[in-house]
Structure 1
Amino acid sequence: MSERERKISRNIYGAVQEQDIWRIITNQELKDLYRNFDLVRDIRRERLEVVEHVLRMEKERGVRTILEGKPEGRRNVGREILQWLDEEDLRQLKVKRWRQKASNREEWTVVMKEAEVLIGS
């Protein structure tokens, strides 16, 4: 588990109370809790599941409009704004026609099973 993952896990699970005294969870306790837990893999998997769900919505729904939207205009100078949908995950999985597959539950189930193997490694 990387330092970043430990920080996120500590934020999620908070402190531990022992005999009316609060303390943070130790690294070893985090390792014991999540021996096979991979936060990045789980976030990628959940993101792909949400994409599938949103793409099956009607085109007029606000969530889908935002996902597929292409904002116009200029941004201020600074760090690049990350997009919620990072197609890099789909490129790594070598999924072609992913929008079409996401609209079909059976096809997307196959994609997600393949993703478990590839993302998990």
Structure 2
Amino acid sequence: MQWAGHVQRMEGTRAPKRLMEGALEGRRSRGRPRGRWSDGVERDMRVLGVRSWKEAASDRLKCRNMLDQAKAYPGL
């Protein structure tokens, strides 16, 4: 979750930001789609009760408070 806040505050032209938004090219493999990293972050934020984690991650103080709350939950 700390990395999610860091990437969210990055400029839009940086490579990790583009990868997080999912603009990849190529063919998909057969079968069930692999889970995305951002889906896992969203699932963890729902456990904490945060609705819009991208807006909250833009503010460093809110992001730090979310990380402190996550430390109280085992398994996050």
TM range (shorter): 0.7 to 0.9
Identity across aligned pairs (percent)? 35
Q: TM-score, normalised by structure 2?
A: 0.78
> Who is 1:114 aligned against?
69
Structure ranking higher on relative contact order (CA contacts 8 Å, 6+ apart): 2
Q: TM-score, normalised by structure 1?
A: 0.52
2:37 aligned counterpart, secondary structure: coil
Gaps of 5+ in 2: none
TM-aligned CA distance change 1:108 to 1:81, over 3 Å = same
TM-aligned CA distance change 1:120 to 1:82, over 3 Å = closer
> Who is 2:59 aligned against?
104
Once the two structures are TM-superposed, the CA of residue 100 in structure 1 deviates from its matched residue by 0.9
Give the count of matched residue pairs: 74
Q: Give the number of the structure whose residues are more often strand, by fraction.
A: 1
Once the two structures are TM-superposed, the CA of residue 76 in structure 1 deviates from its matched residue by 2.9
Gaps of 5+ in 1: 1-47
RMSD: 2.3
